[in-house]
Structures are given as C-alpha cells and as structure tokens.
C-alpha cells in the first residue's frame, strides 16, 4: 500500500504471530503509527483498536512516527491482536 507524497518513503512489512505477512507498505518516515494501523485495518480488517504493533521488542505508540523508531527499509513490524476486555 502506497501513501502519496513528496517525502522519501520506505517500504516495510507487517507480520502477524500466525506467520501471515502483509505488505509491502510504502510510507514516508514521518507517518504516525496511528496511520499505519489504519492502513493495516484496510488490508486485513483488524480494527485499529485491536492492534498492537511491535518492533525490536517495543510496542509502537500511535503518536510516534516510523522515523521516531528508526524503522529501516524492508523491516518487519509485528502485529499482535489485543485481547478483548483489555
């Protein structure tokens, strides 16, 4: 999925713990994780509120960007579904 814009973009993938991989996602480094979650919802139907994104052992915060976490080209971000009621 590609976001339009003049800024340089990066390609990354999202993988569920089941092994299912989504992507490539092509987004600017300034993209906030809340927007990444919206793209994932469009791709697989898992609502934004049910998503937890993990990279390098850390949970990504919605108000932070890809650049904030130094996400590199072709990296994999893990998607974990939140348990209901939590």
pLDDT per position as a tens digit, 14-30: 999 899 999 999 999 99
Is 24 domain-assigned? yes
Is 1 domain-assigned? no
* 42-62 tens-digit pLDDT: 999 999 999 999 999 999 999
Is 21 domain-assigned? yes
pLDDT at 54: 97
Compute the half-sphere exposure of residue 24: CA atoms within 13 Å on the CB side of its CA.
Answer: 10
Average of per-residue pLDDT across 34-45:
96
Is 38 domain-assigned? yes
What are the structure tokens assigned to 53, written together? 């994104």
pLDDT band at 7 (very low <50, low <70, confident <90, very high): low
Q: How many structural domains comprise the chain?
A: 1
Is 65 domain-assigned? yes
Is 3 domain-assigned? no
pLDDT at 83: 66
Is 67 domain-assigned? yes
Is 4 domain-assigned? no
Q: What is the CATH number of the domain that holds 68?
A: 3.10.20.90
């Amino acid at each position: 999925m590609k976001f339009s814009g003049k800024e340089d973009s990066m390609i990354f993938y999202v993988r569920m713990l089941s092994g299912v991989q989504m992507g490539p996602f092509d987004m600017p480094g300034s993209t906030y994780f809340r927007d990444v979650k919206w793209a994932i919802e469009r791709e697989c139907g898992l609502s934004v509120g049910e998503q937890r994104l993990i990279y390098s052992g850390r949970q990504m915060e919605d108000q932070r960007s890809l650049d904030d976490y130094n996400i590199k080209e072709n990296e994999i971000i893990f998607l974990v579904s939140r348990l209901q009621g939590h």
